[in-house]
Amino acid sequence: MKQNIVILGTQWGDEGKGKIVDYLSKYSSYVVRFHGGHNAGHTLVVDQKKIVLHLIPSGLLHPNVIGIISNGVVVSISELVKEIEMLKKNNFFIHQRLFISDSASLILPFHIAMDIAREKTLGINAIGTTGRGIGPAYEDKIARRSLRVGDLKNEKKLSLKLEKIVNYYNAQLVSIYKDKSFDYKVILKDLLKFKNIINDMITDTNIILYEAIKNKKMIIFEGAQGSLLDIDHGTYPYVTSSNSTVGGVITGTGVGPKSLDYILGVTKAYSTRVGNGPFPTELFDETDSYLSKEGNEFGSTTGRKRRTGWLDGVALRYSVQLNSLSALCITKLDVLDNLKEIKICIAYQNINTLEFHTSLSCNNLENMKPVYEVYPGWMKKTSGIKKIEDLPKAAKNYIKCIEKIAGIPVDMISTGPDRNDTILVRNLFL
Ligand code: GDP
Ligand code: IMO
Ligand code: MG
């Protein structure tokens, strides 16, 4: 029995993690966001209703599930309150089902201003961040000057810490970036207002998870972003500021590695990337237009057009290795339905060598040319298919080739955005 499942993106984010977490949450007692912040955009479609979550764990549409925002997350309280309100409007009530770690660092308005100001200054060298203040908030955490969720409980301490950090940011925003300054009293007033709404949710989430594991409750750890955006292992510096690989679960929750039973890598049947940075299999031709349109490849958080490309087997092998993946879930297979031929990059051509295994963290990817294997398309509708045997032969062959390239099994396939458009190839819960 798989008790604790980690669900991670193997590419540059937007693989469909939210949909898969939502699907598997019906079996689960807890769903945990362990890193990142509201830079994530996880789309769930249930009974034709679309819900996009940025901070709240994707399992909470199931009334049996308890959601945890653990210490590794950077939390914007205003965004969190907005999301709780949005769910309420859609008749999803999370009262007494969401807990936030008192050790999580806060994202505050000056982090957002700094993120945007820096990106503007970088011009064509910008990272292409989501502008949500993620980088500056994690910088403060590492520099040991963060305001943490637990600080909201002590108004006096909060006020003193806030005044100090606002001064620190104002000095840079005004003198270096010629930007506006912030008044800490205004920020404080807002924080206290929001705190009243979330006060009961603030707790030591380590203990909740420890008890859950002891009582053999099933937990899903919901990754955000993707492995290639990991701060240590991704395509640095074009990455996010947290560990989106499996190590982030350990540091971001306080749960030890022996408690993780199964690690599922969610992989789009092709590739996308939003923001700047290397992308070896990127397409600029009519296939890009096709994938963009059929896959509706526009960011769930910023609305930006996602760059598209063929599936990158070298990058996939790297993700399998980084995360000790148990299996893959292939999403958006249906998007390929009308392509005559489909390619997978199986190696990178360097100047004189072929690279089948390589780190994407420090390699000079600009000089690498993808080497492709070409597969026949199936030219048949797969959207909504729920059983592996109903897939066309060429689609099954494509899945087999991915398994061979990745070296691990494909345990799930997603054939549409709806929760039910899902094939469970192997019963994960045996
Ligand atoms: P996440 O960030 O990994 O949760 O992914 P996003 O929600 O940002 O982007 C995935 C997009 O693809 C969303 O619009 C989903 O509704 C959609 N989606 C997920 N799985 C499938 C699928 O199998 N087929 C199709 N056509 N769309 C899917
Ligand atoms: P989900 O969870 C795709 C990208 C940004 C940018 C880089 C750094 O929906 O898969 P940041 O704002 O984190 O400092 O931006 O990371 N990025 C994502 N791309 N999906 C995401 O999340 C992303 N979160 C951040 O576009 O390139
Ligand atoms: Mg997304």
pLDDT above 70 covers a percentage of the chain that reads 99
**250 touches 6 (CB < 8 A):** no
Name the pLDDT band for 427 (thresholds 50, 70, 90).
confident
Domain ranges for the chain, please list them: 4-101+201-263, 105-198, 267-424
For atom 19 of ligand 2, the residue with the nearest CA is 13
Tell me the residues surrounding ligand 3 (ion) with CB < 5 Å: 14, 41, 300
pTM score of the predicted model: 0.97
Cα(60)–Cα(76) distance, integer angstroms: 19
Class of domain 4-101+201-263: alpha beta
| Annotated binding residues for IMP | 14-17, 39-42, 130, 144, 225, 240, 304
CATH 1.10.357.10: does it fit domain 267-424?
no
Name the pLDDT band for 300 (thresholds 50, 70, 90).
confident
4-101+201-263 matches 267-424 in fold = no
> How does pLDDT run across 305-340, given as a tens digit for each residue?
999 999 999 999 999 999 999 999 999 999 999 999
Cα(229)–Cα(9) distance, integer angstroms: 10
Cα(244)–Cα(261) distance, integer angstroms: 18
Pairing of strands 4-9, 262-268: parallel
Ligand 2: centre distance to CA 393 (Å): 35
> How does pLDDT run across 232-258, given as a tens digit for each residue?
999 999 999 999 999 999 999 999 999
Choose one of 332, 336, 410, 412 to mutate for the ligand 1 pocket test, by most ligand atoms within 8 angstroms of C-beta.
332
Task: Check whether 365 has a pLDDT greater than 90.
Answer: no
Helix, strand and coil in the chain, % to nearest 5 = 40, 20, 40
C-beta of 240 in contact with ligand 2 (< 6 A)? yes
Which one is the CATH code of 105-198: 3.40.50.300, 3.40.50.720, 1.10.150.240, 1.10.300.10?
1.10.300.10
Q: Which helix (H) or strand (E) holds 187?
A: helix 184-198
Q: Bridge partners of 371?
A: 347
